[in-house]
Chains A and B, each alone.
Chain A
C-alpha cells in the first residue's frame, strides 16, 4: 500500500472570520444564496445565529416532554402496584394506595427521565459522539474552540461550485479560505 499515492478529494470549504459580527453577516449571505449543507462553527453560542442560518426551533423539548411523562407514569404505576396492590402496606393509618406520599417520587422520576431525555436527546439530535469529521483536517480549525469563527460549506451541497462558492465566501470578508480535503479509501 505504500506505493499507492494517497488519493484525496475535496469535501468542504472552510472560511475563517474574526468576530461574531463578521460571522453572522456571512452566515446570512450563505443562507440567502440558498445553500443547505453548510454549518457555522463558533467557540461559544452566538445569539441570532439560528435565524441567520435559517434554522427553526430545536425539537429537543418534545423529546423531553415524552421522557418526563414516561417518568411520572412509571412512578405512579410502580408505587400503586407495589404498595397499593401487590404488597399493601398500611403506614401511619393511611390507605395503602395513598396519593400524597407518592408525590416526591413522582417528581423525582419525572426530573430524572427528563434529564436523560435532555442530555441523550441532545446527543442524538447532534449525532454525537462522532469523533471524525472533515473539518478537523484543517490545521486552522483548532482555533474554532479558542476565538475564531468558521463557516463550512460541503461539496455535496447542490449549489456547491468551487469557484462561485469561494467568491461568495470572499465577498463575505472571510479572513482565510481553505478547500479541505479528505483521504479516499
Chain B
C-alpha cells in the first residue's frame, strides 16, 4: 500500500486505465453485490449446487458405510483422498502468496486480485480439510488428534508429521481467515455507506465493526496488515513443507527425499496461480471488471506460472537425477521403471505434459496475452497438478518391496463423487462470495491509483521514498 508510481523512464505505465478513479472503483466493485446477478453467475452457482449435493450424498454414504467405500486398499492405502487434500491445499497457497508475499515485495498490482485470491485460499482449505477429516475413519473421534486431557491419560504423538499437519493446516486456515476479514473491514464500511437498504445497512454495518476510516485507526491497521503479511509468508511456506513431511519423513522410495518441501511449495504456488487465473478470467468476463482486473494483471500472473512451472519441471528432473546418482536401487526402480514406464506411465506423462510443457507457451507475449490460451493453460495446469499428487502418492505405493504385495488402485463411484463434490463446495462458496462480498479490495486499489497519495508534499515534512519527485512530475 505504498505510494510508488510507475517509472516513466523505464516505460512503466499505470496498471489501470486513466479513467479509473476512487469513485469508479467503489461503483464498479460494489455494483456486483448490489444488482441482480447476471445469468453467468446463476449458471455457475446452479452447477456448483448440484455438485455440492453429490458431495452430501457421497460423504453421507461414506460415513455410514466406512472408508472402505473408497477404492483405497493395501498396498495403495492413500489415494484420491490425500491427492485431493494436497491438491486443494496447494491451490490455497496462491492466495496467501498474493496477499502476503507480494505485499512485502511492494507489488502494487496485487491489489486488484488479492481479495479474490484470499477467498480462494479459505475455500480451498475448507475443501482440503474435508479429506483427512473423513480419512480418519471415525469422523466423530476427530478430536482425538488434539491434545485434550482424557480418561486414558494419553497424549498425542507430537513427533508425527500428521499431527504437525493438524496444527499447520488449522493455523493456516485461522490466520488466512483473520487476514481476509481484516482486509474486508474498510470495504464492508464502503458497502454500508452506499446502501439505502436497511437490511444491507445492518448486516454490512455489523461486519464493518463501526469502521470510520480514522487515521488513528489506519495507523494500527496498516501495522496489523504488515505484521500479518510478515507472519503469513513463512506460514505459507511452512504449511506445504509440513504437508510434504507427511511423505518425506516416511521410508517409502519416491517419498523419502529432501527436495520435497521446496518442490511442494513451488508446485502449490503454481497450481494456486492457475486456479486464480481460471477464476479471474471467468469473473472478469461475467461481471465485466476488465478495467480493474486488466490484461496486465493476467500477463503478470502468467509470468509467475511460467517461473513456478519451470521450477516444478526442475524438481521432476532432480528427482530422477538423485535417484540415479544415489545408486539406491529402490529409488532407481521407482523413478526409472515404475513411474516413467510402469502401469501408471500415462499419469506420469500427463503430469509432465501439463505442468512442464504447457506453461512454456507463456514465453511468448502473444500467448501470454491471449484469453483463450491462458484459460486453457490454467485448466491444463490444474489437471496436471492433480496428476502430480496422484503420481507421487499412488506410483510410490503400488509397487511394494515384495512383488507379492503389488497392487493397483481403481477409484470407486464414491471417490469420484467426493472429488466432484469438493469442486461443488468450492464453487458454491466462491459464487456466494463474489455475490455478497466485494471481490476486489477497493481501498487497496484506491490507495495504489495514480495520484492517490500526496504527490508534491513538502520535502521538509515527509521523506519521499525512491522516485517520489518523479511521480510528482508525472502527476
Interface residues of A (CB under 8 A from B): 19-21, 24-25, 27-28, 39-53, 55, 58-61, 64, 78-79, 82-83, 86-87, 89, 91-92, 94, 98, 101-102, 104-105, 107-109, 111-112, 114-116, 118-119, 121-123, 125-126, 128-133, 135-136, 141-147, 150
Q: Can you list, as one digit per residue, whether each of B218-242 has a CB less than 8 Å from chain A (1) or not (0)?
A: 1111111001100100110010001
Residues of A with C-beta under 8 A to B228: 115, 118-119
Question: Do the beta carbons of A91 and B160 come within 8 Å of each other?
Answer: yes
Question: Do the beta carbons of B216 and A44 come within 8 Å of each other?
Answer: no
Residues facing A in B163-193 (CB within 8 A) are 163-164, 167-168, 171, 174-175, 178-179, 181-182, 186, 189-190, 192-193
Give the residue among A19, A51, A55, A145 with the most B Cβ atoms within 10 A.
A145
Question: Do the beta carbons of A122 and B182 come within 8 Å of each other?
Answer: yes
B25 nearest in chain A by CB position: A147
Chain B contact surface mostly: helix
Complex A-B, nearest 6 residue pairs according to Cβ-Cβ distance, in ascending order: A147-B22, A129-B209, A82-B155, A44-B447, A122-B224, A48-B462
Question: Do the beta carbons of A114 and B227 come within 8 Å of each other?
Answer: yes
Closest Cβ–Cβ distance, residue A98 to chain B (whole Å): 7
Question: Do the beta carbons of B215 and A20 come within 8 Å of each other?
Answer: no
Does B365 sit within 8 A of A, measured CB to CB?
no
Question: Do the beta carbons of B158 and A102 come within 8 Å of each other?
Answer: yes
Question: Do the beta carbons of A21 and B455 come within 8 Å of each other?
Answer: yes
Give the residue among B193, B227, B443 with the most A Cβ atoms within 10 A.
B227
A56 nearest in chain B by CB position: B219
Q: Complex: how many Å from CA A64 to CA B226? A: 12
Q: Complex: how many Å from CA A19 to CA B155? A: 59
Q: Complex: how many Å from CA A79 to CA B158? A: 7
Question: Do the beta carbons of B231 and A115 come within 8 Å of each other?
Answer: yes
Query: Given the known A-B contacts A21-B454, A87-B154, A142-B194, are A135 and B231 also in contact in the complex, defined by CB atoms under 8 Å?
Result: no
Residues facing A in B224-279 (CB within 8 A) are 224, 227-228, 231, 234-235, 238, 242, 245
Question: Do the beta carbons of A130 and B209 come within 8 Å of each other?
Answer: yes
Residues of A with C-beta under 8 A to B217: 126, 128
Does B446 sit within 8 A of A, measured CB to CB?
yes
Q: Complex: how many Å from CA A98 to CA B447? A: 49
B182 nearest in chain A by CB position: A119
Question: Do the beta carbons of B153 and A87 come within 8 Å of each other?
Answer: yes
15 contacts across the A-B interface (CB closer than 8 A): A40-B214, A45-B221, A46-B215, A47-B453, A58-B222, A58-B223, A82-B156, A82-B158, A104-B161, A104-B242, A118-B227, A122-B220, A123-B209, A141-B193, A144-B212
Interface residues of B (CB under 8 A from A): 1-3, 21-23, 26, 147, 153-161, 163-164, 167-168, 171, 174-175, 178-179, 181-182, 186, 189-190, 192-194, 205-206, 209-224, 227-228, 231, 234-235, 238, 242, 245, 443-444, 446-447, 451-457, 461-462
Q: Complex: how many Å from CA A150 to CA B216? A: 13
Give the residue among A41, A45, A132 with the most B Cβ atoms within 10 A.
A45
B164 nearest in chain A by CB position: A104
Partner of B175, one of A44, A98, A112, A144: A112
B2 nearest in chain A by CB position: A47
Question: Do the beta carbons of A50 and B456 come within 8 Å of each other?
Answer: no
